[in-house]
Amino acid sequence: MGQLLCYTCVEQSDVALLETCGKYVGTAGPGCHCILPWTSKAGTLSMRLYEHNIHIRSKTKDNVFVNIRLTVHVQVIPGRENSAFYSVEAPLKVIQSYVENCVETKIPLYNLDALFIERGTISQQLKSETDAVIEGYGWDIVSALITEIDPGAAMTEAINSIQKNQRLRVAVVDEAETKKMRRIRAAEAACESRRLAGRGLAEQRKAIVAGLRKSVTEMRQDVPGLSNEEVLNLLMINQYYDTMKNVTENSSGSLLFMEGATGLQSYSRDLRNGVAQVMR
């Protein structure tokens, strides 16, 4: 960039501000320009997007001090170069002052947890409230982003500990509910098993009774003149041999012998009485 006699050159994305006898008369865009000898270049402005990082420390509604980092993007408003150049000497410092003031009034309205959630809302409010003032200086806030919220190492550790305890509490409750459901399902399964076992036992007994009735009927038809007692004795002997056979087939089975003839007679009498009642 340079100036020689009545020529001036302006770099790309820059705008030169021209003065005649100290008075602003216009701007010159990128390129080489021929100007009058009494016209001078007062300075240049970049039309590029500026990025400015701002650090703010403030206190939340629940009395937690946080360090806020904002990234503000600003740009000269096209056609307002004279205001941007002549209105303020250090535009970025002025913008930072307005942004800091706006943020410091917003942070105390939120608790720490809500601050993380509403950071986007705060950024929008920040831009809308500061734009009205900054535009008067020829600058435009393109975006204002809250890029970091740091409550400090001690507070972060405390928050993580609280979250950990809450998750552990939820895990304990879930585990207890799971065990409860397992016990309920096991009890329901046991109840259903007993019900089905009872039904099976009842069906088995019905089949035994039907078999006994059929055996007695067939035996009377095949051997006329047999009394009920004789038929029952024959059935009992048959059952006795079947039992002995089953016991011998199972190596781990055990056999109980009744004591003496009296005990066997009593057992036989009880068995005959029971079968007779069933047959009725």
Does residue 57 sit in the same domain as residue 34?
no
Task: Flag whether 60 is in a domain.
Answer: yes
User: Quick one: pLDDT at residue 53?
Assistant: 92
**Domain match, 33 and 103 both:** no
For residue range 243-277, list pLDDT tens digits in order: 777 767 766 666 665 555 555 566 566 666 655 55
Q: What six digits make up the tokens of 279? A: 């047959």
| Of the listed ranges 9-23, 78-92, 178-192, 237-251, the one predicted with least confidence | 237-251
At residue 198, the 3 state secondary structure works out as helix
Token pair belonging to 209: 């009774």
Mean pLDDT for 209-221 is 74
Question: Is residue 55 in some structural domain?
Answer: yes
Question: Which domain does 28 fall in, by range?
Answer: 3-46
Q: Are residues 35 and 83 in the same domain?
A: no
d(CA 86, CA 159): 49
134 and 95 in contact (C-beta within 8 Å)? yes
Q: How far is CA 5 from the centre of its chain?
A: 71
Please state the pTM of the whole predicted model. 0.53
Final residue belonging to a domain, choices 132, 151, 170: 151
pLDDT for 4 equals 45
Is 198 a residue whose pLDDT tops 70? yes
189 vs 273, residue with greater confidence: 189
31 & 86 share domain? no
Nearest residue to 50 (alpha-carbon basis) of 72, 77, 70, 68? 72
Give domain status of residue 22, yes or no: yes
Higher per-residue confidence, 248 vs 67:
67
Read off the pLDDT of residues 123-152 as tens digits, 9 standing for 90 and up.
888 888 888 888 888 899 888 888 888 887
27/43 Cα distance (integer angstroms): 10
In this predicted structure, what is the pLDDT of residue 192?
86
**What are residue 58's DSSP bridge partners?**
66
The answer on pLDDT for 39 being more than 70 is: yes
Q: Which amino acid is present at 3?
A: Q
Please tell me what DSSP assigns to residue 135. G
Q: Are 44 and 14 in contact (CB under 8 A)?
A: yes
Q: Does one domain contain both 30 and 56?
A: no
Residues 63 and 127 in one domain: yes
pLDDT at 3 over 50: no
Using DSSP's 3-state secondary structure scheme, residue 58 falls into: strand
Last residue within a domain, chosen from 118, 151, 184: 151
Whether 55 and 41 map to the same domain: the answer is no
Number of domains in the chain: 2
